[in-house]
Amino acid sequence: MAFWQKEYESLVEALLELDKPIGGVADFLAAPNAERIILRHDVDRLPQRACALARLEQRLGVRSTYYFRASASGDFPSAAIRMIAQLGHEIGYHYEDLSFCKGDRDVAIARFLRNLKTLRTVASCSTVSMHGAPLSKYHNQDLLHAEDLQRATLLGDAVTSIEPYTPYYLTDTGGHWLATVTNLRDRVGQAWPRHALPVDLPAFKQFAAEAQHPVYISTHPERWSHNLPSYLRAQAMDTLTNSIKRILKRARQVARP
């Protein structure tokens, strides 16, 4: 499944009508509040799609967080990062160093710090978010401990630092709002209820209005299209990826003692 950028616009407009504070990950960690709505984007690929969502949010008057991956050589899509930062959004590092380094934590930490330093030459960075890397047996969330965040002068991690506040978490991972089989690692806090998914905006809005915990919405901009060709490409990519995830999930279940 893929999504239309117009759908995201409608989602944000519905949240704005709630008159709750909306912001990115750093905004929440600087002032934790059960009434807050957190918007986060993990930019796995196609940074131009992230630019489109960033412009949309800026036009609507909301700020969110965009997490960017580093290439194998440690480079970032600098032009997109600068543009999104100039629009007023938070920039963060979408780290996958543990899986990249085949589980060698010492080497992974060194790579993490090196990439973080490079990113900070492009834009300020106070929070980070792990990349799920579902094809790897190594879970990137296992890389950072509290002392690592402190050593890197980071305000927090988009998962472990927000988990204690038990937010209601909604993500498009797997190309579905409720991906129970294809979402292998992207989980935080409490699952979003089935009856209140954004496909039913009135129910979505009512649940978000009545939520007694923070509302946390995470998307991958590559899935959000503005024309039919890009929509079909996103849908095809998710179909292929989800098939591989299902195979991996079954294999890992069989391998458990």
Percent of the chain scoring above 70 in pLDDT: 88
Per-residue confidence at 1, pLDDT binned at 50, 70, 90?
low
DSSP, collapsed to helix, strand or coil, labels residue 168 as strand
pLDDT score at 182: 57
Cα-Cα-Cα-Cα torsion 103, 97, 246, 187, nearest 10 degrees, comes to: 110
CA distance 75 to 69: 9
Per-residue confidence at 245, pLDDT binned at 50, 70, 90?
low
Residue 144 has pLDDT above 80, yes or no: yes
pLDDT tens by residue, 24-44:
999 999 999 999 999 999 999
DSSP, collapsed to helix, strand or coil, labels residue 40 as strand
Q: Which residue has the higher pLDDT, 210 or 174?
A: 210
The residue among 177, 236, 218 whose CA lies nearest residue 64 is 218
pLDDT score at 253: 54
CA torsion sign for 13, 18, 24, 25 is negative
Give the single-character DSSP code of 163.
G
For the chain, how many structural domains are there in total? 1
Residues whose CB falls within 8 Å of the CB of residue 174, separated by 6 or more in sequence, listed in order: 181, 182, 183, 238, 241, 242, 245
Task: Please report, for residues 130, 159, 197, the alpha-carbon distance to residue 167 in angstroms, rounded to integers and kept in the order given.
Answer: 18, 10, 15
pLDDT score at 255: 57
Q: Residue 164 belongs to a domain with what CATH number? A: 3.20.20.370
Q: Which residue has the higher pLDDT, 176 or 68?
A: 68
Task: Please report, for residues 168, 177, 181, the alpha-carbon distance to residue 10 in angstroms, rounded to integers and kept in the order given.
Answer: 19, 15, 27
pLDDT tens by residue, 79-102:
999 999 999 999 999 999 999 999
Residue type, 216: Y
CA distance 190 to 166: 6
User: For tokens 């995201």, what's the residue?
Assistant: 8
Residue 132 has pLDDT above 90, yes or no: no
Segment 53-69 shows an average pLDDT of 98
CA distance 196 to 218: 16
The residue among 215, 161, 158, 209 whose CA lies nearest residue 191 is 215
Q: How far does CA 121 lie from the centroid of its chain?
A: 22
End-to-end Cα separation, the chain, in angstroms:
34
Q: What is the b/e burial string over 49-65, where b = at least 16 CB atoms within 10 angstroms of the residue's CB?
A: bbbbbbebbbeeebbbb
The residue among 196, 175, 232 whose CA lies nearest residue 183 is 175
Domain that residue 170 falls in: 3-255
